[in-house]
């Protein structure tokens, strides 16, 4: 179970890191222009911060209790942004990572805490 949680953490961290960097760099779609660019940059910066917090605290041994908090925050942010701005056909790319992040939060809190 520990190995599976680590693999999920690393994959989710890479997924959210790429998404956060993309959010900070460009907002090309017209349906994303509902919020100003600084708001999207803030969402992207938070996403990058939470993505790093999925792996780094546990890998370094410094405050590993931040991992489930970061996973829960990523899930909440993903669902909130997806509910408001994602078209129905792109919902799969938002909901599945959010469910996996919730599983990581649950796994690191209940199943295999650090």
Domain ranges, ordered by start, for the chain: 2-111
SS (H, E, C) the chain: CHHHHHHHHHHHHHHHHHHHHHHHHCCCCHHHCCCCHHHHHHHHHHHHHHHHHHHHHHHHCCCCCHHHHHHHHHHHHHHHHHHHHCCHHHCHHHHHHHHHHHHHHHHHHHHCCC
pLDDT tens digits, the chain, 114 residues: what are they? 889 999 999 999 999 999 899 888 886 666 667 778 888 888 889 999 999 999 999 899 899 899 999 999 999 988 887 777 666 766 777 888 999 999 999 999 998 776
The predicted pLDDT at position 31 comes to 61
């Amino acid at each position: 179970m520990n190995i599976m949680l680590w693999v999920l953490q690393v994959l989710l961290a890479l997924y959210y890191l790429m998404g956060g960097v993309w959010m900070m760099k460009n907002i090309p779609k017209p349906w994303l222009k509902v919020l100003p660019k600084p708001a999207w940059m803030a969402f992207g910066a938070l996403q990058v911060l939470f993505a790093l917090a999925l792996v780094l605290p546990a890998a370094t041994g410094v405050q590993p209790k931040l991992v489930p908090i970061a996973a829960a925050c990523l899930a909440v942010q993903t669902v909130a942004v997806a509910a408001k701005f994602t078209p129905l056909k792109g919902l799969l790319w938002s909901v599945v990572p959010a469910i996996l992040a919730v599983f990581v939060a649950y796994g690191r809190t209940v199943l295999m805490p650090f």
